[in-house]
Chains A and B, each alone.
Chain A
Amino acid sequence: MSANDGGTFDAGARPDFWPDFWPGFSPGDWYAIAADHDVIPGHIYRTTLGGHDLAVWRTRDGTVQIWRDRCPHRGVRLSLGEVAGDELRCQYHAWRFARGGACTYIPAQPAMKVPGTIHAEVWPAAEAGGLIWSGIDPQGAPPALPAGTVVRALPVARPAAVVAEALAETDWPGLALVVQPADAQSAIVRGVATDGDCLAADRLLRALRRRIEQNGPEQNGGERGA
């Protein structure tokens, strides 16, 4: 049904399961998924990579944790939870998960030694160039971007492959840009301004977005050569 055929709700159409890779998203690559400054102490930053919802937070010493945004117990988004010291506490049953993902405490059964099988799903994490990077099984080190100031992330309602293609068509003096494939229909452009002029970068990126989004979604890179 469509959203408005007399119904109260938009049904939403997010798939339960995503393939591990599609155009613009490869399991062996690193992707920038946040800026360092997005993940401030005590905050859980939420983003999506390749259709996978991620929760990003830091332990007290500042180490970045990137976890699947889903409690293994009853599926609640961990980004709804709270950072408590070096642990993340799920909002539903207050299960606590430590650095590395292991569940340490289950309040409903406080005397129980928590089985080692109860674990948040941990994703690879790296910090480089003012950005936080992740991927399914990324090889080597994240791309080395030139020194600069991290620009404002720009979501684009087009597939990553389409966005990457558009980026490649133009020269971007003073900018080093990368594409975060969010889901099959959308991407986020991230990067650094080597001259520190974030306002100019933002203007250029917004113009790029307008141009890309003016083309209909039928030019869907996700459909090609899948």
Chain B
Amino acid sequence: MQEWRTMTPDPILWNDWHPVAARCTLDPGRAHHTVLLHVPLVVTIDAAGTIIARRNDGAPLQQCERYGLVWVCLGTPVQPVLAIPEADEPDRPPVVVGAIGVRAAGPRVIENFLDLGHLGYVHAGYLGDDPQTRVLPYDVAPLPDAGVHGGLIATRCRMYQPKASPAATEGFLVDYFYKVERPLATCLYKDNPVHRDRFDVIYLFVQPVTEVTSIAHPLLLCLPDGTTPAALRAFQQIIFMQDKPILENQRPARLPLYDGAELPIGADRSSVAYRRWLAAIGLRWGVITATEAAGAPR
């Protein structure tokens, strides 16, 4: 049994859309080479701004552009790129954070995004702080109006945050909710320090490269609070760089979906629900299923 396997493509991910590049980082003078689900791709932009994504082997693919990102589907899309209603609100244009390579399985990256218990340590001084590390009870439920595979929503999440966003001048108890809309697409809604009646929205899309390597594409839909896009990007890059060493040191690299592999507590409700949901929809990529674990030597 190996960390990654040359296997039949996972049908769920093969027939879904994944970001492979951001328009703002493409350069007419230089092709962008990347890999999606083991398939090498090249993305080019010409002087007129036309973007073309191609497989290196010339096989066809589907391509579109949303939210400043170039999306590719290698198979037959079963649904469109996920809809983000907030992206249509004129005062919060999407800000692409950048493509961040991480040597971790896509599902591990998503699970980390949903995790409340690490905020006070991994993101100490920003998204949490010792000793206010208690994870208050929150709820997790199936996501209504989700895509073809369903999804999850975690509500009533609260965390004391010293610096919840670049505009925060003091710590406050931040209200959150999270959605998992696709196996490798998640988002959170959190209080904005200036607009207390609306939420900043942060998406995380994970481009699956191999089963144990990924490229994270965070996308920000933040309310105008005086923060420049560059400052928003820098803040999120700091946050992600704090997570990266954790993600790259989780073993096994693939997310175990079988009972007893890892020991969750009540604060891990989101993570438990995410793993169960992945098992229920039959995701095979970047995970260790119960069937596979049962056949392993130990």
Seen from chain A, the residues whose Cβ lies within 8 Å of a Cβ on chain B are 1, 5-9, 11-20, 53, 69-70, 72-77, 80, 91-94, 106-112, 117-118
* Known A1-B38, A92-B118; contact A11-B212, beta-carbon cutoff 8 A: yes
Closest residue of B by beta carbon distance from A74: B262
* Known A9-B209, A17-B296; contact A108-B251, beta-carbon cutoff 8 A: no
Query: Is the C-beta of B246 less than 8 angstroms from some C-beta in chain A?
Result: yes
Asked whether B3 lies within 8 Å of A15 as measured between CB atoms, the reply is yes
CA distance A9 to B210 in the complex (A): 8
Closest residue of B by beta carbon distance from A91: B246
User: Which one of B2, B40, B121, B215 contacts A92 once the chains associate, using CB atoms below 8 Å?
Assistant: B121
CA distance A19 to B135 in the complex (A): 38
- Min CB distance, A27 to chain B, in Å? 11
CA distance A73 to B6 in the complex (A): 29
User: Which one of A19, A76, A94, A108 contacts B298 once the chains associate, using CB atoms below 8 Å?
Assistant: A19
CA distance A93 to B41 in the complex (A): 37
* Known A53-B251, A107-B120; contact A75-B262, beta-carbon cutoff 8 A: yes
Chain B neighbourhood of A74, CB < 8 A: 111, 115, 250, 262, 271
Chain A neighbourhood of B297, CB < 8 A: 17-20
Chain A neighbourhood of B34, CB < 8 A: 8
List 8 tightest A-B contacts by C-beta distance, closest first: A6-B40, A108-B117, A16-B252, A108-B267, A107-B133, A9-B213, A17-B296, A7-B35
CA distance A93 to B34 in the complex (A): 33
**Interface magnitude class on chain B:** 35 or more
- Min CB distance, A185 to chain B, in Å? 13
Asked whether B266 lies within 8 Å of A109 as measured between CB atoms, the reply is yes
Q: A16-B288, A70-B251, A112-B266 are in contact. List 6 more A-B contacts (CB 8 A).
A: A8-B215, A12-B4, A13-B2, A20-B297, A77-B251, A91-B245
Asked whether B103 lies within 8 Å of A16 as measured between CB atoms, the reply is no
Closest residue of A by beta carbon distance from B35: A7
* Known A17-B296, A18-B298, A91-B121; contact A12-B133, beta-carbon cutoff 8 A: no
CA distance A73 to B254 in the complex (A): 15
- Min CB distance, B106 to chain A, in Å? 13
Asked whether B2 lies within 8 Å of A108 as measured between CB atoms, the reply is no
Asked whether B3 lies within 8 Å of A16 as measured between CB atoms, the reply is yes
Query: Is the C-beta of B230 less than 8 angstroms from some C-beta in chain A?
Result: no
* Known A17-B1, A73-B262, A108-B134; contact A7-B246, beta-carbon cutoff 8 A: no
* Known A16-B296, A73-B264, A92-B122; contact A8-B213, beta-carbon cutoff 8 A: yes
Asked whether A110 lies within 8 Å of B209 as measured between CB atoms, the reply is no
> Which chain B residues (207-260) contact chain A, with CB distance < 8 Å?
209-213, 215, 245-246, 249-254, 256
Asked whether A118 lies within 8 Å of B3 as measured between CB atoms, the reply is no
CA distance A72 to B111 in the complex (A): 16
CA distance A70 to B246 in the complex (A): 12
> Which chain B residues (4-58) contact chain A, with CB distance < 8 Å?
4, 6, 33-35, 38, 40-42, 56
Asked whether B122 lies within 8 Å of A1 as measured between CB atoms, the reply is no
Main secondary structure, interface of B, reads: loop
CA distance A145 to B115 in the complex (A): 49
CA distance A14 to B254 in the complex (A): 11
Chain B neighbourhood of A13, CB < 8 A: 2-4
Chain B neighbourhood of A17, CB < 8 A: 1, 252, 296-298
* Known A16-B254, A20-B297, A80-B249; contact A6-B121, beta-carbon cutoff 8 A: no
Asked whether B3 lies within 8 Å of A11 as measured between CB atoms, the reply is yes
CA distance A76 to B112 in the complex (A): 12
Asked whether B251 lies within 8 Å of A75 as measured between CB atoms, the reply is yes
User: Which one of B1, B131, B210 contacts A15 once the chains associate, using CB atoms below 8 Å?
Assistant: B1
* Known A76-B250, A92-B246; contact A7-B210, beta-carbon cutoff 8 A: yes
CA distance A69 to B249 in the complex (A): 10
CA distance A207 to B249 in the complex (A): 34
Closest residue of A by beta carbon distance from B292: A16
Chain A neighbourhood of B170, CB < 8 A: none
CA distance A15 to B254 in the complex (A): 10
Asked whether B133 lies within 8 Å of A110 as measured between CB atoms, the reply is yes
Chain B neighbourhood of A70, CB < 8 A: 251
Chain B neighbourhood of A1, CB < 8 A: 6, 35, 38, 210
User: Which one of A80, A107, A110 contacts B246 once the chains associate, using CB atoms below 8 Å?
Assistant: A80
Residue in B3, B56, B265, B298 with the greatest tally of chain A CB atoms within 10 Å? B265
CA distance A114 to B211 in the complex (A): 34
